[in-house]
Chain A
Amino acid sequence: MKKRNMGLVLSLVLAAGTLLGACGKSDNQGTDTSKDGGKGDTFSVAMVTDSGGVDDKSFNQSAWEGIQKFGKDNGLKQGKGGYDYLQSKSDADYVTNLNTLVRQDFDLVFGVGFKLKGAIEEIAKQQKDAHFAIVDEQVDQPNVASVLFKEQEASFLAGIAAAMTTKTNRIGFIGGMESAVIERFEAGFVAGVKAANPKAVVDIDYAGAFDKAETGKAIASKMFTSGADVIFHAAGDTGNGMFTEANDRKKKNPEKEIWVIGVDRDQADMGPDIVLTSALKRVDVAVQDLSKKAMDGSFEGGKVVLYGLNEDGVGLAPINDKAPNKDAIEKAVNEWIGKIKSGAVKVPGTRDELKNFSAK
């Protein structure tokens, strides 16, 4: 009897483990593979996601959208010899996935996310003829192009929009894991808020993960309860919890003004009544741009390619029509875009730079 109970406990734990392991993954997009690849010299490109998965509604998805668009523009088919992606389920899968794509003779292989740095460094040394690109990190190998963004410029504009919308003068920032990339988001956002509304306070909190929507929801709830009325997230899938929380609150009390700001891609679809705008990080633009250059024979191996406002690599999504002072925000944002583009304002990219930042 006891033994059978133990078995039950064990299987329950297993079931829980399996469920947990399956969290954050949903169905794949319909994949119609073509197996006629490998013929001729057509350019082929593929990407490896980090463990967030290709449908993370932000970063990986944006890169995949870029690759899809590039493929369609150039008449490629999904599959071998065209364009494709592989999903990583754990950190151990990066190397295997990258190697698989190299073995299938893809001409350019993207590693999406800073977590793939170690894997790309290693393979680039072994497969010297293959071409790689890494997004959000820097790898010093002659056959790797590193794509970096000036996230601070996008989040600075988001900060302007937040500061001009808040009525309580409390604004929230939810970060994923602490890293150089998210620090750029944070520093730029705080600088933007200070520039537009020096009285506003920014509550900063980190979820410690990019795939924990429930943590994101809890943090958003805490921030709203303590009086914040605009929250910005730079937390990937974790940020989806923030949208859920804001949608729930709006449903319960439609009169109360609360806003959230999305990240990476235009996340207006996450809630038409609550999404003020999104800090765009056009991974898709960068991926297309780099693929195009590689196809034309000018692959930027060994270089760091920086995408900022000037390169259309970052930006701000359209302001929600329901926002109370939409026109004023748009006007201010455009002014600041001009100042940043001309170089009159340098947006801080770290907390240290933020300390010395003063907007005139």
Chain B
Amino acid sequence: MSKRLSSILTPIIAVLLGVIVGTIIMLASGYDPVAAYTALWNGAFGDIYYTGEVIRQVTPYILAGLAVAFAFRVGLFNIGVEGQFLVGWLAAVWVGVSFDLPRIIHLPLAIIASIVAGALWAFIPGLLKARFRVHEVIITIMMNYVALHISNYIIKNVITDHKDKTDMIKDSATLRSEWLQSLTDYSRLHWGILIAIVCCILMWFLLERTTRGFELRSVGFNQHAAHYAGMSVNKNIILSMVISGAFAGLAGAMEGLGTFGYATVNGGFTGVGFDGIAVALLGANTSLGVFFSAILFGALKVGALNMPLEAGVPNELVDIIIALIVFFVASSYIIRVFLDRFTKKGVK
């Protein structure tokens, strides 16, 4: 079996296995799986409103997935996407509420602010990794907490006067559009999806079609070989973290300028950054794969909300199914072995 085919089949089989095991769990606990999956489907695509919400949810997932995938291609685990996402969100909203500018300047400025904030937040672990070989997983996890509490502090004490959420951003900074909302019956669909798609293309082009991308991938394949070939490993490590953080910050802007239009004090993580890890993993760290797996995860998350009402199935079950899918993707080695066996037998 060709490598390409098996790399496409593996995630699909993982998803199917996740659904099958999910069905077994539902049967075992006395729920009706057909009703549950129908409700899941209806909750995601049964109504134009829900489809709009799915796309809205997919937008930050694509960008968070790209952030994880980009770093991974250079051999780094950016677990700090959540933190970069939060500072990006904060920066975008901050610019969004504090200036009065024409839309053509204001909106790009807010978006750029989120990119810079996310990139800076990822630059720190990148630098520490490059200079002192400090493991990026530990630093990025810690930076998540720093981001959470600093952004809470700033929202409470700097942007507002001891309130739990900022004002709405000015209309000139919003990604929302009444046209898109009227198209989808008041869903929160916004223009961010276009940005996310452009970023998918951008990442593909950068990694596959440029010299810099070749260098980045080389460092991911084998640092020593890359170093021997005269590439600067440290520079590429920092660069990859910065780009990864920029994607993550942009994901935050999608929530800040699109979905919500404000920033709130958070008691805990939003989970988007961590879901991004699953998205990237299922998407095999390619931009096209991330795009499709983000759609799957977005549809699951939004569709799940409908399950208790329509089918009486607790929506936690979708969390279980997502966990199972991730489990099967992570153990894709087993699936691959089976696939190889199967094809070999077929040849005989």
Contacts and interface: CB of A to CB of B under 8 A. Distances in A.
A221 interface: no
B137 A9 contact: yes
A104 B312 contact: no
A91 B255 CA distance: 11
A14 interface: yes
A13 B71 CA distance: 15
A309 B79 CA distance: 49
A211 B268 contact: yes
A28 B314 contact: yes
B137 A13 contact: yes
B258 to A, nearest CB: 11
Nearest to B312: A33
B311 A92 contact: no
A208 B312 CA distance: 33
B326 A80 contact: no
Contacts, number: 126
A302 B83 CA distance: 38
Interface string B303-340: 00110110110111001001100110011010000000
Interface stretch (A17-25, A64-72, A245-253): A17-25
A116 B319 CA distance: 23
Contacts of B50: 96
Interface string B59-72: 00000000000001
A337 to B, nearest CB: 31
Given A7-B333, A25-B316, 14 more contacts: A10-B72, A11-B326, A13-B77, A13-B79, A17-B278, A18-B322, A28-B316, A86-B305, A86-B308, A95-B188, A103-B47, A177-B265, A208-B267, A209-B267
21 contacts: A6-B77, A7-B333, A11-B327, A18-B326, A20-B274, A21-B274, A22-B319, A27-B316, A31-B314, A87-B308, A89-B315, A91-B260, A92-B259, A93-B305, A101-B309, A103-B47, A114-B164, A118-B260, A118-B262, A211-B268, A212-B268
Interface of B: 43, 47, 49-50, 53, 57, 72, 75, 77, 79, 137, 149, 152, 156, 162, 164-165, 186-188, 255, 259-262, 264-271, 274, 277-278, 281, 301-302, 305-306, 308-309, 311-312, 314-316, 319, 322-323, 326-327, 330-331, 333
